[in-house]
Amino acid sequence: MSRPVLTVLSRDEIEAIKAGSLRILESTGISITYAPAREVLQAAGARVEGEYIFFPSRLVEEAVAKAPRQFTIYARNPARNVTVGSGQMVLAPGYGAPFITDGSGKKRRATWDDFVVLARLAGASENINISGGVLVEPVDVPAGKRHKVMLYSCMANSDKPFMGSATGADHARDSIAMAARLFGGENVIREKPVMITLINSLTPLMFDERMTGALMAHAEAGQPLIIASLAMAGSTSPATLAGTLAVQNAEVLAGIVLAETVREGTPVVYGSASSITDMRYGSLSIGAPEGAWLVAATAQIAHAYGFPCRAGGCLSDSKLPDSQAAYESMMNLQSAGLAGVDFVLHAAGILESYLSMSLEKFVIDDEICGMVRRYLAGTRVDVDGLALELIEATGPGGQFLTSEHTYRHFKSEFWQPSLASRSSYDQWQVDGARDLLARASVRLKEMLAGYEIPALDPGLDRELRAMVEA
């Protein structure tokens, strides 16, 4: 049984993009404002001119060879451990939105209560593998300790792996210290990493001090990194998709070189959030078909180097969880799945071009995740799967509904939705004639009410709370 793979680039086209990125890295360079990063790279053989770093191809090739092809992120519940690069999608919820949008389209600033609800939804989901990072930006938590409060909530409300802070070296070290306390020491998590952190470039061809400082701190501690670019074709990158891929690739490679220079063997994921600029409004469009195409192309390029790949999931430009949100989200996640993306960030909840999260859409997206997972799982073509003897015994005009073979297989072979209506029209009327959004609201309450929060040791919980307040 093999996983379907979508390809959009030829081998020659991939090599042309890779060669173009090397030219950018050698001749144009990358601006890095964090002095310690420049020092490390210069010592490794990069040419430094002020804040500009020029990467020789040898340095890039050596870094590519050092990065592991797959790695495991360990959870406090070992049954929740995830392996990135194994051929199975790892799904993480939406990330970074400052707003919450309800089912009617009303938008407001996100709060701490919203964050906790989302952390519990991520814990309750059968499809989401990572509890989260910046699920939303809770405006009612002071900025100075927000990163610790968010991390604690992900630790306490789920026993799945979580994401670390990328808002500077000091915040990254806070994440490392809290994770070390939870798992028994920095030596423990260095050998068995427990969190993954999103590091974003600043397109075009820049890394700022916060992201670079966080990258170096997490790499030193042996924690995996997603090195990602968000290039907006037509504004922060060329309007041509090939040119956008060349810029994106140069930025991601620069981040990977830094990570591997800081600590050889740092687990890295080649990340993309790139899409197009809607030229009518000058804004990013994440529901565009070009964005889905860039995801497929990115997966090919990442895998050509041997890296696991990260891209977006249920992404939409819609302002509320409506039909537009549904069809854009399915297009994006299905494309990521077919392309072989290894780590999906924004798998559930995102609206309005990354600006807002919706609880109802989280539930709908969770169903989409289940559908795509089932699609990718395929079927077993063996003696039992082909069922030729059963077909022969049943013969023309027979039925398979009452066969023992059907009883043995239908529960594992057939995916069952929690939201989608498959009943007759009359039965749908009897059940209240509710549309998808209404059913999602009911399902949201059921998920939260039925979720049993995995308990933390009381003493350890007190220590983590003290670290948050310190």
pLDDT in tens, 257-303: 999 999 999 999 999 999 999 999 999 999 999 999 999 999 999 99
Q: Cβ atoms within 10 A of the Cβ of 169, count?
A: 20
The DSSP-derived string for 54-102 is: E--HHHHHHHHHHS-S-EEE--SSGGG-EEETSSS-EE-----B-EEE-
Average pLDDT over residues 102-129: 96
Is residue 104 predicted with pLDDT exceeding 90?
no
* Mean pLDDT value across the chain: 96
Q: Which of 117, 127, 59 is nearest to 92 (CA)?
A: 127
Res 5: pLDDT: 78
Residue at token pair 């537009």: 324
Res 1: pLDDT: 47
Is residue 49 predicted with pLDDT exceeding 70?
yes
Distance CA 15, CA 11 (A): 6
Is residue 127 predicted with pLDDT exceeding 80?
yes
| Residues 25/41, Cβ–Cβ less than 8 Å | no
Q: Where are the domains of the chain?
A: 65-377, 383-413
pLDDT tier for residue 3 given thresholds of 50, 70 and 90: low
**Domain at 65-377: CATH architecture:** Alpha-Beta Barrel (3.20)
Average pLDDT over residues 114-121: 98
Res 343: pLDDT: 98
